[in-house]
Structure 1
Amino acid sequence: MTVKLKVLPVAAVFSATTAIPAFADLKYQNNSGGSVELYGQFDPVIVSVDDGQETETRLLDNDLSNSRVGLRVIQPYGSNEFMFRFESGLGLPSTATANQNGTNTNGWTRSDIRHVDFSLKGGYGKFSAGQGSMASDGAAETDLSYVGTALYSFTNDENGAFFYRGADGVLSDITVGDSSSNFDGGRRGRIRYDTPDFNGFSAAIAYGQNILSSSDDDDYYDIALKYGNTFANGIEFAASFAYAVRDFDDGSGEQRDTIGSASVLLPSGFSFTAALGSRDNTSAGASDPDYWYTKLAYEGDWVSWGKTGVGIDYFDGSDFENQGSSTKSWGIAVVQRIDAINTDAYLKYRNHDFDDTVDFDKNEAWVLGALWKF
């Protein structure tokens, strides 16, 4: 086994997150009740990935919740509230682009834009337009556990671009990201409507296109239902369900995703989270993958720094790369809140086991990171 260590310029960011105290809110309020707020975060990680033959260790930006900066403008108009939001990733070398062949260091591109979003909210609900979340964004990731900062239903953040290695030592053309997904909705240039909250229930519907990509002219539309409540005995519960369709512009068919997730947090600190999803591809020759996911977690005030969360999860997927293929993944993590610097430090281990028509070595990853917000 060979070990390669690559340290990228993002090291300066990692040092900053552990040395800078929490900012006061970067927020200006006007005399009419409106506000302008600057916000952001840094999420550097040391990632070590073992593909069964070689180990790659690098310092990168965590694609789980990438480093970003944003601006939020809110202005009330009578009983309505107008909001403009701009948010962009910083384009730092990311876990999403790192594999055995190197890391993409091309910097910021327009695909790093997360939100250019206008909305109007009132008693009738909320209308949104612009680049932002589709209705199904987050529907597979309902999670009340504190360890969700590092451990949740999308299991490919730390090593999704790494290729599986065959038992003969040769790298395949199948990546960890190819072998699993939670089908969660994304962000698009869209129009969206959200209903008001009715006793914890709300719904949303959206239509959009991938305006940040010149090669994607597909149509996207979805609908979602959400519920959340804290009961009299202190039990918290949340759940989401969504149906999303991608209509391919070339006329080859549609991709239809059905996803759902739920999470319960008990007063004792224990929580249980589950998610599942299926994809129906109408294109000729495409497989129809599905998965289920579960997590057991616990959180408590063990140290004076802040809350501690620990958890273990398991992912089971079928037919992701080819019909008959199988994906198993499990992970364990601990997240420690450091209130004094508004930071969550975390350590995670993730194991991927993918079976297809040939044998592949397991892919393992260790992640040490710190998420600092301002």
Structure 2
Amino acid sequence: MTVNFKLTSMAAVLAATTAIPAAAELKYENNSGGYVLLYGQFNPALISVDDGQETDTRVLDNDLSNSRVGLRLMQPYGSNEFTFRFESALGLPNSSEWNQLGTDFSGWTREDIRHVDFALKGDYGKFSAGQGSMVSDGAAELDLSYVGTALYSFTNDENSGFFYRGTDGVLSGITVGDSSSNLDGARRGRIRYDTPDINGFTAGFAYGQNILSSSDDDDYYDVGLFYGNVFAGGVEFAAGVAYSVRERDDNSGDRKDTIGSASVLLPSGLGFTLAGGTRDDDQAGASDPNYWYGKISYEGDWVSWGKTGIGIDYYDGADFDTSGSSTEAWGIAVVQKVDAINTDVYLKYRNHDFDNGTSFDNNEAWVLGARWRF
């Protein structure tokens, strides 16, 4: 086994992150009940990926929850609330942009813009317009566990660009990202409506387009239903289901996804999370993948620094990349809150196993990271 060990200048960012004290909230209020809030986060991580024969290790921005900065504005308007949100990733060297062949760091591009979102909220619900989340964005990722900071239903944030290596030593053309997904929704330039909360239930629908990409003229539609509640005794529960359609502009066939997730957190700190999804793609030659995901977690205040969460999860997927293929992934993680500097420190191990009739080595990743929020 050969080892290629590279540390970028982001190592300094990791050190600085854990040395910065928690800043006061950057919130500016006016005399009419409105406010402007500045916020952001840094999430550098030391990531080591082993493809079975070679290991590459670098410090990168973790795509699990990339470094970003944002602004929120809220202003009461009669009995309504008007809000505006702007948020952008920083475009730092990212964990999704490297593999055995090297790096392809793009820097900041317009696709790093996450939100330019206007909304009006009242007793009738909430209307939103602009770049922001479709209704299905997050429907496969409802997770009440604290360890969900590092371990959740999308299993390939840190090594999605890495190619599976055959047991003969030859790299395939199939990446970890090709072999698994939670089919979760996305952000689009969209119009969206969400109902008011009715006994814990909300619903929504949206229409959008990928306005940040000049090569995507497809139409996107989705609907979703969500539920959340805290029951007697302190049992927390959240669940959601969504259906989304990608209507391709070239008439090559629509893509339809059905996804859902549910999570429960008991007063003892024990938690359970499930997610699943299926895809029906009418495009010629496209496969119709499906998956299910499960996690057991536990959390508590075991040290004076803050909350600690641990968890183990398992992912089982079929027909990703090619029909008849199978994907298994499992992971284990621990996350420690450091209240004094508002930072989540995490250590994770992830193992991917892909089978399409060819013999591949497993792909393994170790991740040590720290997410500092302000």
Q: What TM-score comes out, normalization by structure 1 length?
A: 0.99
Instruction: Tell me the equivalent position of 1:332.
Output: 332
Instruction: Tell me the equivalent position of 1:202.
Output: 202
Poorly superposed stretches of 4+, deviation over 6 Å: none
Question: What one-letter code is carried by the residue in structure 2 that aligns with 1:120?
Answer: L
Preserved CA contact (<8 Å) 1:256 1:281:
yes
Question: What one-letter code is carried by the residue in structure 2 that aligns with 1:149?
Answer: T
State the secondary structure of the residue aligned to 1:19: coil
**Distance in 2 between residues matched to 1:102 and 1:237, nearest whole Å:** 43
Preserved CA contact (<8 Å) 1:145 1:265:
yes
State the secondary structure of the residue aligned to 1:151: coil
**Distance in 1 between residues matched to 2:145 and 2:243, nearest whole Å:** 24
Preserved CA contact (<8 Å) 1:333 1:348:
yes
**Distance in 2 between residues matched to 1:43 and 1:295, nearest whole Å:** 23
**Distance in 1 between residues matched to 2:103 and 2:261, nearest whole Å:** 33
Q: CA deviation at 1:230?
A: 0.4
Instruction: Tell me the equivalent position of 1:106.
Output: 106
Preserved CA contact (<8 Å) 1:224 1:240:
yes
**Distance in 1 between residues matched to 2:319 and 2:373, nearest whole Å:** 38
Q: CA deviation at 1:9?
A: 2.2
State the secondary structure of the residue aligned to 2:334: strand
State the secondary structure of the residue aligned to 2:260: strand
State the secondary structure of the residue aligned to 1:159: coil
Instruction: Tell me the equivalent position of 2:126.
Output: 126
**Distance in 2 between residues matched to 1:231 and 1:242, nearest whole Å:** 24
Instruction: Tell me the equivalent position of 1:362.
Output: 362
Question: What one-letter code is carried by the residue in structure 2 that aligns with 1:103?
Answer: T
**Distance in 1 between residues matched to 2:30 and 2:205, nearest whole Å:** 33
**Matching of residue 286 in structure 1 with residue 282 in structure 2:** no
Instruction: Tell me the equivalent position of 2:172.
Output: 172
State the secondary structure of the residue aligned to 2:167: coil
Q: CA deviation at 1:90?
A: 0.2
**Matching of residue 30 in structure 1 with residue 30 in structure 2:** yes
Question: What one-letter code is carried by the residue in structure 1 that aligns with 2:187?
Answer: R
State the secondary structure of the residue aligned to 1:227: strand
**Matching of residue 48 in structure 1 with residue 48 in structure 2:** yes
**Unmatched segments (≥5 aa) in structure 1:** none
Question: What one-letter code is carried by the residue in structure 2 that aligns with 1:253?
Answer: G
Instruction: Tell me the equivalent position of 2:248.
Output: 248
Question: What one-letter code is carried by the residue in structure 2 that aligns with 1:59?
Answer: V
Instruction: Tell me the equivalent position of 2:273.
Output: 273
Instruction: Tell me the equivalent position of 2:310.
Output: 310
Q: CA deviation at 1:233?
A: 1.6
Identity of aligned residues (%): 75
Preserved CA contact (<8 Å) 1:41 1:372:
yes
Q: CA deviation at 1:105?
A: 2.6
Preserved CA contact (<8 Å) 1:2 1:54:
yes
**Distance in 1 between residues matched to 2:265 and 2:66, nearest whole Å:** 26
**Distance in 2 between residues matched to 1:105 and 1:143, nearest whole Å:** 30
**Distance in 2 between residues matched to 1:263 and 1:206, nearest whole Å:** 24
Q: Deviations over 1:162-208 (max 9, x none)?
A: 00001110111100000000000000000000000000000010000
Question: What one-letter code is carried by the residue in structure 2 that aligns with 1:43?
Answer: N
State the secondary structure of the residue aligned to 2:27: strand
**Distance in 2 between residues matched to 1:275 and 1:357, nearest whole Å:** 27
Q: Deviations over 1:79-105 (max 9, x none)?
A: 010011100000000111111112223
For residues 79-158 of structure 1, what are the structure 2 equivalents within 5 Å?
A: 79-158=79-158
**Distance in 1 between residues matched to 2:252 and 2:283, nearest whole Å:** 6
**Distance in 2 between residues matched to 1:238 and 1:142, nearest whole Å:** 7
Question: What one-letter code is carried by the residue in structure 1 that aligns with 2:343?
Answer: T
- Of the structure 1 ranges 164-173 and 102-111, higher mean CA displacement relative to structure 2 is found in 102-111
Q: CA deviation at 1:285?
A: 1.8
Q: CA deviation at 1:49?
A: 0.2
For these two proteins, the number of residue pairs brought into alignment is 374
**Distance in 1 between residues matched to 2:106 and 2:300, nearest whole Å:** 41
Q: CA deviation at 1:121?
A: 0.4
Preserved CA contact (<8 Å) 1:161 1:177:
yes
Question: What one-letter code is carried by the residue in structure 1 that aligns with 2:365?
Answer: A
Q: What TM-score comes out, normalization by structure 2 length?
A: 0.99
Instruction: Tell me the equivalent position of 2:192.
Output: 192
Q: CA deviation at 1:366?
A: 0.1
**Unmatched segments (≥5 aa) in structure 2:** none
State the secondary structure of the residue aligned to 1:147: helix
How well do the aligned residues superpose, as a CA RMSD in angstroms?
Answer: 0.6
**Distance in 2 between residues matched to 1:84 and 1:293, nearest whole Å:** 35
